[in-house]
Every structure is written in C-alpha cells, then in structure tokens.
Amino acid sequence: MIYLDNAATTKPCHEAVEAVLKGLECFGNPSSLHSLGLEAENLLNEQREAVADAIGAQDKEIFFTSGATESSNTAIFGAFAAHGKRKRRIVTTSVEHPSVANPISKLEQQGCEVIRLSPDENGQISPKAVLDAVNEDTFLVSMMLVNNEVGAIFDVGGAFALIKKKYPQVVTHCDCVQGFMKIPFSVKKLGADLISLSGHKIYAPKGVGALYVKSGVHIPPFMLGGGQEKGFRSGTESVPLICGFGAAVRALSDKVEINLERARGVQAHLIEKCAENGGIAVNFAHGSPYITSISVDGLKSEVLLHFLEKKGIFVSSGSACSKGKKSSVIKEFRVPEKLSDSVLRISISAATTNEDIDALIGAVGEAQGSLARIKK
Ligand code: PLP
C-alpha cells in the first residue's frame, strides 16, 4: 500500500497506539477525587504540557476537544457570543476548511457581515489586504495557516501583527491543522488569540484535538455540562485519545525541521516526475511540501483515484471533505477550468519515499494509456 492521502488523515504512529492503550488501562475519571482519578488527571496534564510546548504556549492555554472542527466552532461562535452584539464584521479567506467556513456562513445568515479574501495570483493573501478588510466594526479575523487542498501557506503572523497593532480588540483565530508539527510556528509568531489543532493529521487517533486560547482572551464555553477543562469544555475527557495525541506530538517534537526538509525533497522529486511525464500539470507546489495539487490532463479525478486505488495507491481528489463535490477552493487558487475536474491531491507523510512517488507516476502513466477513452 502506498498512502498519499495524509492531509485527509494519517496512520497512527506506534507511540500513539501504545499511549492509547495506556490511557484505556488508566480508566479512572479525571474528575474523580480518588487516586484512580488523579492518575488519569496526571496523564491528561502530561499531554497538555506536550501540546503546549509544541506551540510555545502555557499549559493552561490548551483545552482538549474532539478535533479541530469542534475547536473552530468553539472559537468562532465563542467570539460571536463575546463580541457579536456590538460588532458585526468577520474577516476570513475564501479558502477555509468547511469547519471554519460553515460556522462563519451561519453567522452571516444571522446578520454578520463577512469579508472573504481571495488569494492573489501567487496563492497569497497579503497581510495588508487582511488589515484593509478590518474596520472598527470587526470582531473576528479567522485565517488558516496551511490550506488543506493545495498547501498554500499564508502569512498569518504578518496579518495578525498588523491587525493587533491597529485593532487590538479584534479576536484572531487560526486553523493550524495542516501546519501543526509540520511547519514550525509558535503562538508568539502567529499572534493568534485562538488556534485550532487536530490529532489525526499528525499520526494520532481521530476524534481528538485542541483549542489554544491565549491567556486573557475570554470566550464563553461551547459545551456546557460538568465543567471539565476548567469549565471551558464540558464532557469527560477522552483520556485514551488525548494520550495518543500527546504521544504523537512528543514523537514528532524534535523532528519537525528534519521531516520538513525530507518532505521538500520528496515534493521536488514529484514535481520533476510530473514534468518528465508531460501530461501532468502541477497546480500548486509552492506552499507546504506535504501537499501538492496536480491535474492529469484529460482524466477525471475520481476515475483516476479509483484506478490508482486498485494498484494500492491512495490519493484524494481535491479534499476529503468535498466527497466528489467540485471544489470552490481549487477555483480560488486559479486552477484553469479545464484542469479543475482532474485535480488530485498528493499529500505525503514523514515516511513517504521517492520510490512511492515513482510508483504513483508509473501508475498514472498506465492510466494515461488505458483510460484514454474517457478523455473529455
Ligand atoms: N481544518 C483543516 C485545514 C483540515 O484539513 C481539517 C481536516 O480535514 C479540519 C480542519 C478538521 O479537523 P478534524 O477532523 O479534527 O475536525
């Protein structure tokens, strides 16, 4: 099996699997006052420290959630609950993941004014463009760090710095899911008040993530109940999944730079092989090396995806969340109309090799021969 769909999810690392088992065995409720509860609480705090350290945050600024979707919903609806009575404008990008885009659209239906900034011809949104969209009526700016469909990296730190200088009261949120443990960043450099993180993109299990809430930033809780996570996120913490999350973070913590360099090499090899093939367009490859958007001229994404699957090679058409729906994000990144039905997202892991890429390009070559009849 050659798995090249790591932006959708990753295979859990053995450290995470072992930690999940440990978390299952340590079955006490972290809120219980007896020793079993204390043991579980201690385990949680160890993981909180690992996640906090990875982004240069304080432990008390990390709240565990069920994943980035919950984190971003908490951030966006929380910012609205805190400030939306007095202010109405939200500034965001036109290429956010649905876990950000949809809560914002919901607030738009409720009367918020939403400014969606499109990437320029280089796939960038300049900090100045973001600042220019913010006004006195703005309560939230939400901007992703790494786009999940093409890998574009936005200068979130630059944008948030300008905004905080002129409008310090605006809440800044960043979906860092595709950058976390892949592209080095710290909360300080990013200047975000709120950051969404997910476990399953970094070799941890699904169903766990975190929201960073900068000390001093107050948003109300989204989940009400027993008051876990200092009252910010009620519901008994999933100790096993959180243990898996923490273990995956620790396993990567001193490898971010090395893995990034490696990923750059594998992406360069992919680009070279696409050029050699002649019929494969590289739509976007100047962002995160972990994600490369390509189009195989004349072959529909889904047909090719299933052809590759039969050969044991797993890729994605656009993003996993689009489930075959034509992606508006691809259009926003100015992929020519004639290539937009043929987009494949190749998303590599720290373990992907040049040989994996050779196998992919070889199989695409076979498809170009045998699937020729379905040319558009
Ligand atoms: N944000 C981005 C950029 C993503 O790629 C994803 C997952 O595809 C999410 C958010 C959602 O994360 P989760 O599955 O943890 O809710």
Helix ranges, 235-317 (H): 239-252, 256-277, 301-310
∠ CA 214-218-219, nearest 5°, is 110
Task: Count other Cβ atoms within 10 Å, centred on residue 98.
Answer: 15
Cβ pair 128, 106 in contact under 8 A:
no
Pocket of ligand 1 contains residue 130 by CB under 6 Å:
no
Closest residue CA from atom 8 of ligand 1: 8
The ranges assigned to domains in the chain are 14-252, 255-370
Pocket of ligand 1 contains residue 99 by CB under 6 Å:
yes
What is the structure's pLDDT at 103?
98
Site to probe by mutation for ligand 1, drawn from 6, 97, 147 as the one with most ligand atoms within 8 Å of Cβ, is: 97
Pocket of ligand 1 contains residue 66 by CB under 6 Å:
no
Provide φ and ψ at 38, rounded to 5°. Answer: -65, -40
> What would be the CATH architecture of the domain defined by 255-370?
Alpha-Beta Complex (3.90)
3-state secondary structure at position 283:
strand
Closest CA to 175 of 334, 16, 7, 19: 7
Low-confidence ranges of the chain (pLDDT < 50): 319-320, 373-375
∠ CA 203-206-211, nearest 5°, is 90
CA 14 to each of CA 50, 345, 374: distance values in angstroms, whole numbers, following the listed order = 17, 26, 42
Task: Compute the distance from residue 219 Cα to the ligand 1 centre, in Å.
Answer: 21
Pocket of ligand 1 contains residue 6 by CB under 6 Å:
no
3-state secondary structure at position 210:
strand
Query: What distance in Å separates the CA atoms of residue 311 and residue 307, rounded to the nearest whole number?
Result: 7
Q: Which token pair is 89?
A: 């404008």
pLDDT tens string 69-97: 999 999 999 999 999 999 999 999 999 99
Helix ranges, 66-223 (H): 68-83, 98-109, 127-133, 156-166, 187-190
Cβ pair 372, 26 in contact under 8 A:
no
CA 133 to each of CA 108, 146, 351: distance values in angstroms, whole numbers, following the listed order = 16, 20, 40
What is the structure's pLDDT at 323?
56
Task: Compute the distance from residue 71 Cα to the ligand 1 centre, in Å.
Answer: 10
User: Dihedral of CA 35/41/43/49: which sign?
Assistant: negative
Task: Compute the distance from residue 278 Cα to the ligand 1 centre, in Å.
Answer: 33
Provide φ and ψ at 350, rounded to 5°. Answer: -65, -15
Task: Compute the distance from residue 86 Cα to the ligand 1 centre, in Å.
Answer: 30
Pocket of ligand 1 contains residue 69 by CB under 6 Å:
yes
What is the structure's pLDDT at 320?
46
Query: Is 321 an annotated catalytic residue?
Result: yes
> How far is Cα of residue 60 from the mean position of the Cα atoms in its chain?
22
Task: Compute the distance from residue 33 Cα to the ligand 1 centre, in Å.
Answer: 35
Pocket of ligand 1 contains residue 332 by CB under 6 Å:
no
For strands 280-284 and 291-296, give the pairing. Answer: antiparallel
What is the structure's pLDDT at 186?
97
pLDDT tens string 24-72: 999 999 999 999 999 999 999 999 999 999 999 999 999 999 999 999 9
What is the structure's pLDDT at 39?
97
Closest CA to 26 of 16, 34, 13, 37: 37
Q: Which token pair is 58?
A: 């304080």
- Which residues have C-beta within 8 Å of that of residue 206, sequence separation ≥ 6? 9, 67, 199, 200
What is the structure's pLDDT at 373?
47
Query: What distance in Å separates the CA atoms of residue 250 and residue 248, rounded to the nearest whole number?
Result: 5
Pocket of ligand 1 contains residue 175 by CB under 6 Å:
yes
pTM here is 0.96
Closest CA to 92 of 48, 54, 144: 144
Query: What distance in Å separates the CA atoms of residue 168 and residue 162, rounded to the nearest whole number?
Result: 9
What is the structure's pLDDT at 338?
87
Q: Can you tell me which residue has the tokens 């709120």?
A: 194
Closest CA to 88 of 96, 97, 79: 79
For strands 280-284 and 2-3, give the pairing. Answer: unpaired
Q: Can you tell me which residue has the tokens 């004014």?
A: 113
- Which residues have C-beta within 8 Å of that of residue 172, sequence separation ≥ 6? 140, 141, 142, 143, 160, 163, 164, 191, 192, 193, 194
CA 275 to each of CA 71, 88, 96, 107, 189: distance values in angstroms, whole numbers, following the listed order = 40, 48, 29, 44, 36
Q: Which token pair is 358?
A: 């050779």
3-state secondary structure at position 204:
coil
Pocket of ligand 1 contains residue 91 by CB under 6 Å:
no
> How far is Cα of residue 100 from the mean position of the Cα atoms in its chain?
11
Q: Which CATH class is domain 14-252?
A: alpha beta
Site to probe by mutation for ligand 1, drawn from 70, 73, 146, 148 as the one with most ligand atoms within 8 Å of Cβ, is: 148
